[in-house]
Amino acid sequence: MMTRWGRAIDPEHVLDEYPRPEMVRESYLNLNGMWDYAITGSDTLPQKYDGKILVPFSPEAPLSGVNRILQPGEYLHYEKRLTLRKEDHERYLLHFGAVDQICKVYVNGENAGKHTGGYLAFSLDITRLLRDGKNLIHVTVQDFSDTSFHAKGKQSLQRGGMWYTPQSGIWQSVWMEKVPACYIKALKITPDYDRNSIILRIILNNGEKIPARAVVRFRGETLHAAQGMTGTTLRIGPLPMHPWTPETPNLYDLIIQAGEDEVTSYFAMRKISMKRDARGILRLFLNGQPYYQNGVLDQGYYPDGLYTAPSDDAMVHDILQMKHLGFNMLRKHMKIEPSRWYYHCDRLGMLVWQDMVCGGGPYHSWFVTIMPNVFPFTGRILNDRNRWLFSRTQETGCREYLREVKHTICQLYHHPSIVLWTAFNEGWGQFDAGKVADLIRRADPSRLVEETSGWFDQGGGDLNSIHNYFRKLRISPDPHRCVALTEFGGYSYHIPGRSFNEEEYGYGKYHSKDELTDAIGKLWRRDLFSNIPKGLSASVYTQLSDIEDETNGLMTYDREEIKVDEERIRQINKKLERIFASSCIKRSCNRIKRYRHTDRPGFLLGFIDFFTAGLLFLVYMPLGLQEEIESVLGHKVMPYWKAYLCGIPTLFIYPLVWMARISEELKEKAISLNVPGPYTSWRHMFGWNIFGLPLMGPAVATHRFFGTLDRVERELNKRAQDGDKDEQADRKERNCV
């Protein structure tokens, strides 16, 4: 199966766009194209090569021209002849976007360096090894795939279902650049949104501190120029504010000079945070405003290039297509893309949640997949200290994972589109998740952290993350973290002639575009629309495209057909935005009104005994009252059914205590909002009992409880609406100015 971009590929011009948009120099030599290759059983440089391979496509990818899977005991050798003019007083850097998994690089027969880690970029200074004229570059690769503890993502030597064809060797661009002896090695740009400025750190290769100059431009206009020293922190601003959002992806240009070196870069004014909305529910905020992150799972596989997009346009196509359908976020799942992919998200306006690539030993599917789906509560109560269960028995692999986490953050720190890091997914190679989340936060306090995506939650990070494919979603506000549905859907629609094979893997099967669209619309209404008012702040639908056996994409594997009605998907996503906006600024009283009929049963309770009152209350709680109470109070409370069961051996004293505590907290909330009484108090039961009227206690308490709840809801509504009007007035005033 080939994509339109794969069919049009030119071996002389393969992915020849500048590969590092965040730090551009004029000097650039693209080394993609035809290389000699050989697969042997030894790391000794071969005397004879097997043929030609099209770099940067791995030998397993059809576009490579090899179509062979590298086995763990084999070595993949590359050779490239290069002619260049070597200039004195200049240094030459050889860059690799990614090589999977372990590689050694030789230049003219001499060792230039070694690298381990199949998803991270690395560079080598090969100045002393180069000759003026003809040169020979040799790369030797070994890949253990999923038989070792190294990072592997979704690759498997036994592909099938949710595990895909493995790949090896060079799979991102190879290129060279010429730099002065003292050159800019790295930039660290951190936006300070609240102060309309950026914090810049310029790092040189030799660590020296020399004068540097930075110029900020926006759409060709020079806004600011600043001078400072390399190796120190330089604040640039205040700057005219042009915020970055998916709707307005404004980018500033940045030109930096240090000594004889000059690079161009860019940045954005963007702030991601977690705050409480007008109703007191924790939400994800973008630039100080509640912002629902409506995402799609994106694994970045192509039928002809596997991990490697066949062209720059292919990457752009996926991003634009998801924006066209009304999504504003992509969760990059178990893969690190080339810098250009993140650059396109930056300039086109697409939020990114970035997974750390998983590793570890062979996973126990009964533990990490079957058990949490059949018994969901297990994913919330088990800790990750048992290294065998989580396939992390080798300490060397744990240390390597932690190093790669730090390098991933360093490599991708620049991109404003990235707003969240995910440490672990569904227990794959998980260990010490709380400590890893803290490590990520220390390394990058400017972004949010998802400790564990799906299950085996250890209670840390910024998200209460849920994977739900098989049940109706029921949530309530989390007092400490935002609630996010980080995987759901996965509906399958197998299209003959547009699928990888005859297999059909997904969660629910549909047979036409209309059927699939109807099902997605129903899913949105059932799981998203109904839960957003209760605290749902983000969602990630599975997935962007079909991948091999998986036929649960919004697009076919070759990207030739959109499998849903585009206009209808756009409309349901627009409706989602409206529901979220109204949920953050006001609270509909419809659900409270639905329970106002309990005022009448409340008086009825005066004619029945106390135990029946408790039973009726027990019935109302699962119908939604539990969520209403938690929504008003802003935190979780013990389910009433638990209190009622605990009350059986204590003559129902325990549920009385539960009722008293909740009613007192509701009373305090009402007083803080200046809501007039009478306030609810389950202690009335005791009073009526004392006066010999035990049947009136439940009636009065129930009546006042729901009356107070209703008045508090109305007051929260009113304040949210007033705040919205003030915000609109302020925005109008700013626009006039």
Q: Which two tokens stand for residue 552?
A: 């649960």
- Cis bond before residue 543 (omega within 30° of 0): yes
Q: Which two tokens stand for residue 282?
A: 């924790």
Work out the mean pLDDT of the chain and round it to a whole number: 87
Is residue 90 over pLDDT 50?
yes
The β-bridge partners of 168 are: none
How many CA atoms lie within 13 Å of 52's alpha carbon, on the beta-carbon side? Answer: 7
Q: Where are the beta strands (DSSP E) in 182-321?
A: 184-192, 197-204, 211-218, 221-229, 233-236, 252-258, 261-267, 272-276, 282-286, 289-290, 293-298
For 13-48, b/e burial (b = at least 16 CB within 10 A) is ebbbebbbbbbbbeebebbbbebbbbbbeeeeebee
Say which DSSP state 631 is in: H
Distance (Å, rounded) from C-alpha 351 to C-alpha 417?
5
Query: 456, 451, 428: which is closest to 372 by C-alpha?
Result: 456
CB-count burial class (<10 Å; 0-12, 13-18, 19+) for 119: buried
pLDDT digits (tens, 9 = 90+) for 335-373: 999 999 999 999 999 999 999 999 999 999 999 999 998
Is residue 724 over pLDDT 70?
no
Distance (Å, rounded) from C-alpha 337 to C-alpha 348?
16
Max CA separation in the chain (angstroms): 106
Distance (Å, rounded) from C-alpha 231 to C-alpha 385?
40
pLDDT digits (tens, 9 = 90+) for 487-518: 999 999 999 999 999 899 999 899 999 999 99
Query: CA distances (Å), 685 to each of 388, 656, 659, 697, 724, in order?
Result: 54, 9, 11, 4, 41
Q: Which helix (H) or strand (E) holds 54?
A: strand 51-55
The β-bridge partners of 29 are: 176
Task: Report, as an integer, the average pLDDT of 716-731.
Answer: 59
**pLDDT the model gives residue 647:** 55
Give the pairing of strands 197-204 and 184-192. antiparallel
**Looking at 412-416, 532-536, 699-703, 712-716, which range is the least confident one?**
699-703
Alpha-carbon dihedral 243, 244, 248, 252, rounded to 10 degrees:
80
Q: Report the interhelical angle of 339-348 vs 312-324 (nearest 10°).
A: 40
**Looking at 156-170, 194-208, 494-508, 595-609, which range is the least confident one?**
595-609
Task: Assess contact for 122 and 79: CB atoms under 8 A.
Answer: no
With cut-offs at 50, 70 and 90, classify the pLDDT of residue 129: very high
With cut-offs at 50, 70 and 90, classify the pLDDT of residue 98: very high
Is residue 55 over pLDDT 60?
yes
Is residue 133 over pLDDT 90?
yes
What proportion of the chain, given as a percentage, has pLDDT over 70? 83
Give the pairing of strands 75-84 and 33-40. antiparallel
3-state secondary structure 8-42: CCCCCCCCCCCCCCCCECCCCEECCEEEEEEEECC
Is residue 2 over pLDDT 50?
yes
- Grouping H, G, I as helix, E, B as strand and the rest as coil, residue 164 is strand
CB-count burial class (<10 Å; 0-12, 13-18, 19+) for 448: buried
The β-bridge partners of 137 are: 80, 107
Task: Report, as an integer, the average pLDDT of 662-669.
Answer: 72
Q: Which helix (H) or strand (E) holds 486?
A: strand 482-489
Is residue 736 over pLDDT 50?
no
With cut-offs at 50, 70 and 90, classify the pLDDT of residue 670: confident
CB-count burial class (<10 Å; 0-12, 13-18, 19+) for 579: buried
Distance (Å, rounded) from C-alpha 169 to C-alpha 4?
24
Is residue 602 over pLDDT 60?
no
7 C-beta neighbours (distance < 10 Å), count: 11
The phi and psi torsions of 493 (rounded to 5 degrees) equal -140, 105
Distance (Å, rounded) from C-alpha 398 to C-alpha 529?
40
**pLDDT the model gives residue 164:** 96
Task: Report, as an integer, the average pLDDT of 104-120.
Answer: 96
- Cis bond before residue 59 (omega within 30° of 0): no
352 C-beta neighbours (distance < 10 Å), count: 23
Query: 642, 575, 5, 682: which is closest to 308 by C-alpha?
Result: 5
Task: Assess contact for 623 and 594: CB atoms under 8 A.
Answer: no
With cut-offs at 50, 70 and 90, classify the pLDDT of residue 641: low
Q: Which helix (H) or strand (E) holds 76?
A: strand 75-84
**pLDDT the model gives residue 315:** 98
- Cis bond before residue 56 (omega within 30° of 0): yes
Task: Report, as an integer, the average pLDDT of 408-414.
Answer: 97
Say which DSSP state 495 is in: -
Chain-centre distance for alpha carbon 579? 22
**pLDDT the model gives residue 376:** 85
Is residue 470 over pLDDT 70?
yes
Continuous H helices in 110-172: none
3-state secondary structure 169-220: EECCCEEEEEEECCCEEEEEEEEEHHHCEEEEEEEECCCCCCEEEEEEEECC
The CB-based long-range contact list for 629-632 (8 Å cut-off, 24+ gap) reads 629/662, 629/666, 629/709, 630/476, 630/477, 631/279, 631/281, 631/476, 631/477, 631/533, 631/534, 631/535, 631/587, 632/666, 632/669, 632/709, 632/712, 632/713, 632/716
Query: 267, 244, 242: which is closest to 254 by C-alpha?
Result: 267
Q: Tokens 């629309």 label which residue?
A: 529
Task: Report, as an integer, the average pLDDT of 120-145.
Answer: 96
The β-bridge partners of 164 are: 155
CB-count burial class (<10 Å; 0-12, 13-18, 19+) for 525: middle
Provide DSSP, 709-722: HHHHHHHHHHHHHH
Phi-psi category of residue 232: left, alpha or beta, with phi > 0 → left and psi -120 to 50 → alpha: beta
Q: Tokens 């799979």 label which residue?
A: 171
Distance (Å, rounded) from C-alpha 439 to C-alpha 423?
10
Task: Report, as an integer, the average pLDDT of 41-55.
Answer: 94
What proportion of the chain, given as a percentage, has pLDDT over 90? 74
Query: CA distances (Å), 115 to each of 70, 102, 151, 399, in order?
Result: 18, 6, 13, 16
Task: Assess contact for 175 and 26: CB atoms under 8 A.
Answer: no
Say which DSSP state 52 is in: E
Query: 204, 208, 181, 184: which is closest to 92 by C-alpha?
Result: 181
Query: CA distances (Å), 453 to each of 305, 382, 551, in order?
Result: 28, 14, 22
**pLDDT the model gives residue 680:** 53
